Structure 1
Amino acid sequence: MREIVVISGKGGTGKTSVCAALAHLASVGARKTGRGAVICDLDVDAPDLHLLLSPVPRRREAFISGNEAVIDPERCTRCGTCAGLCRFGAVRHEDDAFAIDPLRCEGCGVCVRLCPAGAIAFPERECGEWYISDTRFGPMAHALLNPGQENSGRLVSLLKQQARELARETAAETILCDGSPGVGCPVISSLSGATLAVAVVEPTPSGVHDFGRVAALCDHFRIPVTLIINKADLNPAETARIRALAAERGRTVAAELPFSPDVMRAMIAGKALTETESPLAGLLAGAWNIIDELAARAATPAAPNL
């Protein structure tokens, strides 16, 4: 089983559009081999792969993570101990009553343990929902974190676990993940156990800088990286710089995609680029052949030295 994670050092590089196209190409290949792919949207803070794939949920579960303090007004003696103890300013004092602001509460439990009246409950916190769905390209695991909630890395880990179970159930040979932008906690969780990372890079100074950070993260976890340079024709100098950096580090540039209004047209139509007549479809098909080969090579154990 191979896990391919599409990542980017910054948002807005076209990562989700590329991932949707690769998911379509993987499903086309599955019709020939009989071994499909499982799709996984790991950008749980702001997921958007569902906009192109139109998933139909067959399983919906609440994501429970951490706890949240809640004051019982009938048992509260208005002593103000909780307000004095809370380092996060989560205790509100209004109309001679105390209450917890759920957006500020960090779930540390100090107020719960030290309330003299025992008036503060500590129920589990529902932070969002996760889903197992069906799409025209195959089964999909995805989620949505509630606004202001944390523990996105934990939710990403849960989704990857569900995707692996789906892959075993369906005998899929590939898990294709749309990762989060940047290098934070959800990205680290996205890369855990990955076979290959596909970095979508824009030819701008900030794009090159942020790609350097995410590539260093992959190097730290010994995950091979291949590149797709998006809007490559808008800044030939930076594109050449990215190409040179890739060659210096022994990384493959799977494709250089020109800027095209076809991307927006495909989004509006709710289609992957490879489902359209755009010239980009052929470039992405060539990129998928390279990515598929690199992933197969990376997933094959090296022969022992004798």
Structure 2
Amino acid sequence: MEIVVASGKGGTGKTFVAANLAYYMKTSVEPVVAVDADAEAPDLLLTLGGSGEELFEKPVSASRKASIDYNKCTQCLKCLDACRFYALRVIEGKPFVIEEYCEGCNACGIVCPANCISLYVKETGIVRADVSRSGVPVVTADLDVGGRNSGELVFLAKSEAYALSRELKAKHVVVDAAAGIGCPVISSLAGAHVLITVVEPTPPSISGAKRLLEVAEKMRVKPFAVLNKFDMPSSRIDDLTEELGVEVLGKIPYHRSVVEAYVNMKPLLAYAPDGEVSKRLKEIFNYFVESVLR
């Protein structure tokens, strides 16, 4: 079963929940493979202790960029007028391609009278797999700075995770999605069975969670919610369950031990297994495993 942990906005604690869920399942339930689908800022592996053993690293070339043959270029600069992404600049009278802005649409090549512009395939990121120091296998989608097609990179990372799960005889894949509802999140939800939405009792988080739940409904992914930092000053916590319209698996309080676990690069369940927050997490995860996964 594929379990996606996501949130409508950043900073709600989705990676915290995903890392500890994967660790709990690995140590208390059965083998599991985790996926860091936040391709623009992956950090799940760090949360699980960093790499203990690298399994593989594969480059991904999923983007096209324009290239100019200056031996043919007549410096007419028609390409500049055609580009809608401001990926061309004039330097010393010649057009120059800014790769980070280029979308590979080839509009510049179509209008070029000298036929001096062509497209080439560029490496946009990597998919790597490691066994974390906490023992959880993690497949990471890592997009290059300025790279494009994060959704495709996430798809490839999930494909590798499924292959690894078959090899390790793991029945479940836990996906730590990106924040928001953009391309990498859509790719994370594609084919997933369950969504755990991590929400904090603030207006931006609640608004983002509602949008995420709408996407999950359209993609036919069964949604649940976890309320994180529920003891923050808020007047909306009491009616939040009804407002979200999905089953809330449980509530997690704010505690300094969570920060300490991050600093020590350990999942909280390993850093402070008998702490108050860990007890809440175990209750939530145990209920989720028994009522949803069984």
TM over 0.5: yes
Which of 60, 80, 85 lines up with 2:57 in the alignment? Answer: 60
Q: Which residue matches 2:193? A: 195
Structure 2 CA distance for aligned equivalents of residues 258 and 87 of structure 1: 48
Q: Which residue matches 1:159? A: 157
TM-score (structure 1 length as normaliser): 0.89
Is the contact between residue 85 and residue 111 of structure 1 (CA under 8 Å) also seen in structure 2?
yes
Q: Which amino acid aligns with 1:16?
A: T
Structure 2 CA distance for aligned equivalents of residues 128 and 111 of structure 1: 25
Which of 68, 74, 78 lines up with 1:77 in the alignment? Answer: 74
Does residue 100 of the first structure (1) align with residue 97 of the second (2)?
yes
Displacement of 1:274 in angstroms is 0.5
Q: Which residue matches 1:258? A: 253
Displacement of 1:186 in angstroms is 1.3
Structure 2 CA distance for aligned equivalents of residues 84 and 227 of structure 1: 48
Across the two proteins, how many residue pairs are aligned to each other? 289
Displacement of 1:5 in angstroms is 0.6
Q: Which residue matches 1:206? A: 204
Distance change in 2, residues 1:113/1:294 (3 Å): farther
Q: Which amino acid aligns with 2:32?
A: A
Q: Which residue matches 1:23? A: 22
Displacement of 1:36 in angstroms is 0.3
Is the contact between residue 195 and residue 295 of structure 1 (CA under 8 Å) also seen in structure 2?
no
Structure 1 CA distance for aligned equivalents of residues 135 and 193 of structure 2: 21
Segments of structure 2 that go 5 or more residues without pairing to the other structure are none
Distance change in 2, residues 1:100/1:224 (3 Å): same
TM-score (structure 2 length as normaliser): 0.92
Structure 1 CA distance for aligned equivalents of residues 178 and 188 of structure 2: 8
Aligned-residue CA RMSD in angstroms? 1.7
Segments of structure 1 that go 5 or more residues without pairing to the other structure are 298-306
Structure 2 CA distance for aligned equivalents of residues 8 and 168 of structure 1: 28
Distance change in 2, residues 1:295/1:41 (3 Å): farther
Q: Which amino acid aligns with 1:187?
A: V
Is the contact between residue 226 and residue 291 of structure 1 (CA under 8 Å) also seen in structure 2?
no
Structure 2 CA distance for aligned equivalents of residues 29 and 259 of structure 1: 24
Q: Which amino acid aligns with 1:47?
A: P
Q: Which amino acid aligns with 1:150?
A: R
Q: Where in structure 2 are the equivalents of 1:227-242 lying within 5 Å?
A: 227-235=225-233, 237-242=235-240
Q: Kindly provide the CA deviation profile for residues 155-184 of structure 1, in whole angstroms up to 9, marking residues without a partner as x.
A: 111111111111112111110110111112
Structure 2 CA distance for aligned equivalents of residues 77 and 211 of structure 1: 53
- Which region of structure 1 is more displaced relative to structure 2, 226-235 or 134-143? 134-143
Q: Kindly provide the CA deviation profile for residues 29-71 of structure 1, in whole angstroms up to 9, marking residues without a partner as x.
A: 25xxxx4001101111111112222124321111211310011
Structure 2 CA distance for aligned equivalents of residues 98 and 75 of structure 1: 12
Is the contact between residue 63 and residue 148 of structure 2 (CA under 8 Å) also seen in structure 1?
no
Displacement of 1:111 in angstroms is 2.1
